[in-house]
Amino acid sequence: MLRQIEGSKAVAAAVAACRPQVVCAYPITPQTHIVEAIGAMAKSGELTGCRFINVESEFAAMSVAIGASATGARAYTATASQGLLFMIEAVYNAAGLGLPVVMTLANRAIGAPINIWNDHSDAMAVRDSGWVQLFAESNQEATDLHVQAFRLAEELSLPVMVCMDGYVLTHCTERVDVPTQQQVDAFLPPYQPRQALDPADPVTIGAMVGPEAFTEVRYLAHAKQLQALARIRDVADEFGEAFGRRSGGLLRTYRAEDAEVVVVALGSILGTIKDAVDELRDRGARVGVVGITSFRPFPLDAVHEAIGVAPRVVVVERAFSIGFGGVLSTDVALAIADAKARVSTVVAGLGGRAVSEASLIAVVEDAIAGRLEALRFLDLDQRAVERELARMAGDRRSGPSAENLLRDTSTVASGSV
């Protein structure tokens, strides 16, 4: 059903159509609208058979989801940023126990300095947790990915995280084809748990495992992720047939066939990148895009095939590994290790900074001209950074850097200036 709707509310409607039985909610910006909307549906009776629980922390939110899922119920929660980090022990635990919890991650930066705006630092922090991580490019895809997520999670007994950019998607109102109850019921069968706490068939879940079997248990988690690679593609195909539109899958390419420069990215920034590529194509540059939907499992073969023989690859990332560089770039470089392409990382859009089409075009033009470094921070205010470095070098008690920078750039007056 076509609706003019906020991204969060579209996701809430899709999750509700999946008939979750336990939803746990803890507020954190920019995720909160999603659980608010589900809570309203559970309370009004629009969503039946659902226990909506206001918990006292994100750690409890994931823990309640673990208990519910282990008891054979379909469990859902949503979080962002600091909330994800606060629940991280339980995030790993849900994956280790093989529980098909579905969670929305409304991607947001991690402090300090505290920042409520979008980047992908939160998702990268749980990259190795064993969760499937799917990135939505648009609100339509975010909505559709949730329906696919429950299907994937429950088939594979794996938790699935749908990553959607905070504000850019969660708070953006646009046209979304919201799945109907009938469509979802036809696509998503009732949850059949592989393991469940049941007095009629008592099992022990969560035993201690020593060196004699830990590697094998961990390898099984990896094997399930490899199975997920195939299933993510198939489920997206089945979704396409059932709903009449493409959403999800491992990755999508855009004008990449003969490209000399391939730009790789995750999430909503792909829209701006495609606009930049259209402009560059109009100018005669052979530029294409690979948008990755499945970050974990990472589709090495599909990325290899999609990039092909392009000599230059620019990975635009909304996060980075401090002291090293790109995160996604490392994975992309491994996928094309035999191709001799030059891979550059462009760190962009941290903490909600706008990524303009003009800046992206300049980056690609630099790549074509061989001027793009291995690691570039897009639109970095180099003068501000150097001023603070000089201050730190000159004065032992130079004070808090974030506040110094704000004062220098006069963006915000934090108290007296």
Partner 1 sequence: MTTTQKVKFYQVGSFAVGNRLLEADQRTVQSDASRSNSLTSGHRACQGCGEALGARYVLDAAMRATAGKLVAVNATGCLEVFTTPYPETSWQLPWLHSLFGNAAAVATGVAAALEAQNRSDIRVIAQAGDGGTVDIGFGCLSGMFERNDDVLFVCYDNEAYMNTGVQRSGATPPAARTATTEAVGPDPGNLFGQGKDLPVLAMAHGICYVATATVADLHDLESKVERAMAFRGARYLHVLVPCPLGWGSAPADTIRVARLAQETGLFPVFEAEHGAVTAASAIRHRVPVEDYLRLQGRFGHLFDGSGAVARPDIVGRLQQLADRNIDRYHLLEGGAS
Among 16, 34, 66, 350, interactor with partner 1 by CB under 8 A: 66
Note whether 136 binds partner 1 by CB under 8 A: no
Three-state DSSP class for 290? strand
- Cα end-to-end span (Å), the chain: 52
Q: What's the Cα-to-Cα distance from 360 to each of 118, 307, 327, rounded to whole Å? A: 18, 19, 19
Half-sphere exposure of 210 (CA within 13 A, CB side): 1
Among 112, 208, 369, 393, interactor with partner 1 by CB under 8 A: 208
Note whether 85 binds partner 1 by CB under 8 A: no
Residue 212 CB neighbours (<10 A): 7
C-beta of 183: minimal distance to partner 1 in Å? Answer: 23
Among 5, 12, 22, 346, interactor with partner 1 by CB under 8 A: 22
Note whether 17 binds partner 1 by CB under 8 A: no
209-268: which residues touch partner 1 (CB under 8 A)? 209-210, 212-213
Among 13, 15, 47, 75, interactor with partner 1 by CB under 8 A: 75
Helix (H) or strand (E) segment spanning residue 272? helix 269-282
Three-state DSSP class for 371? coil
Note whether 95 binds partner 1 by CB under 8 A: no
Note whether 71 binds partner 1 by CB under 8 A: yes
How far apart are the C-alpha atoms of 187 and 240, rounded to whole Å? Answer: 11
Helix (H) or strand (E) segment spanning residue 312? strand 312-317
Bond from prior residue into 113 cis (ω within 30 degrees of 0): yes
Among 36, 40, 59, 88, interactor with partner 1 by CB under 8 A: 59
Helix (H) or strand (E) segment spanning residue 315? strand 312-317
Note whether 153 binds partner 1 by CB under 8 A: no
Burial class of 391 by CB neighbour count within 10 A (0 to 12, 13 to 18, 19+):
middle
Burial class of 251 by CB neighbour count within 10 A (0 to 12, 13 to 18, 19+):
buried
Q: Which is nearer to partner 1, 101 or 303 (CB)?
A: 101
Q: Which is nearer to partner 1, 49 or 311 (CB)?
A: 49
How far apart are the C-alpha atoms of 127 and 129, rounded to whole Å? Answer: 6
Among 10, 16, 24, 176, interactor with partner 1 by CB under 8 A: 24
DSSP structure class, residue 350: G
Three-state DSSP class for 174? strand
Listing from the earlier edge strand, what are the strands of the sheet with 160-165? 51-54, 22-25, 75-79, 102-107, 160-165, 132-135, 294-296
Q: Which is nearer to partner 1, 70 or 109 (CB)?
A: 70
Structure tokens at 229: 């690679």
Place of tokens 């648009």: 138
Note whether 282 binds partner 1 by CB under 8 A: no
Q: How many residues bind partner 1 (CB under 8 A)?
A: 44
Note whether 89 binds partner 1 by CB under 8 A: yes
How far apart are the C-alpha atoms of 52 and 65, rounded to whole Å? Answer: 11
How far apart are the C-alpha atoms of 309 and 290, rounded to whole Å? Answer: 13
285-314: which residues touch partner 1 (CB under 8 A)? none
Q: Please report which residue ranges of 283-315 form alpha helices under DSSP H.
A: 300-307
C-beta of 59: minimal distance to partner 1 in Å? Answer: 6
C-beta of 160: minimal distance to partner 1 in Å? Answer: 18
Note whether 190 binds partner 1 by CB under 8 A: no
Q: Which is nearer to partner 1, 49 or 113 (CB)?
A: 49
C-beta of 201: minimal distance to partner 1 in Å? Answer: 8
Note whether 157 binds partner 1 by CB under 8 A: no
Note whether 111 binds partner 1 by CB under 8 A: no
Among 1, 114, 205, 380, interactor with partner 1 by CB under 8 A: 205
Stretch that binds partner 1, among 113-121, 144-152, 195-203, 246-254 (CB under 8 A): 195-203
Among 10, 11, 60, 184, interactor with partner 1 by CB under 8 A: 60
Stretch that binds partner 1, among 33-41, 143-151, 203-211, 290-298 (CB under 8 A): 203-211
**Phi and psi torsions of 315, nearest 5°:** -100, 115
Note whether 203 binds partner 1 by CB under 8 A: yes
Q: What angle, 0 to 180 degrees and rounded to 10, lies between the N-to-C axes of helices 357-368 and 269-282?
A: 60
Note whether 90 binds partner 1 by CB under 8 A: yes
Among 3, 36, 51, 285, interactor with partner 1 by CB under 8 A: 51
Note whether 91 binds partner 1 by CB under 8 A: no
Residues near partner 1 (CB under 8 A) are: 21-22, 24, 49-51, 53-57, 59-60, 63-73, 75, 89-90, 93, 97, 197-199, 201-210, 212-213
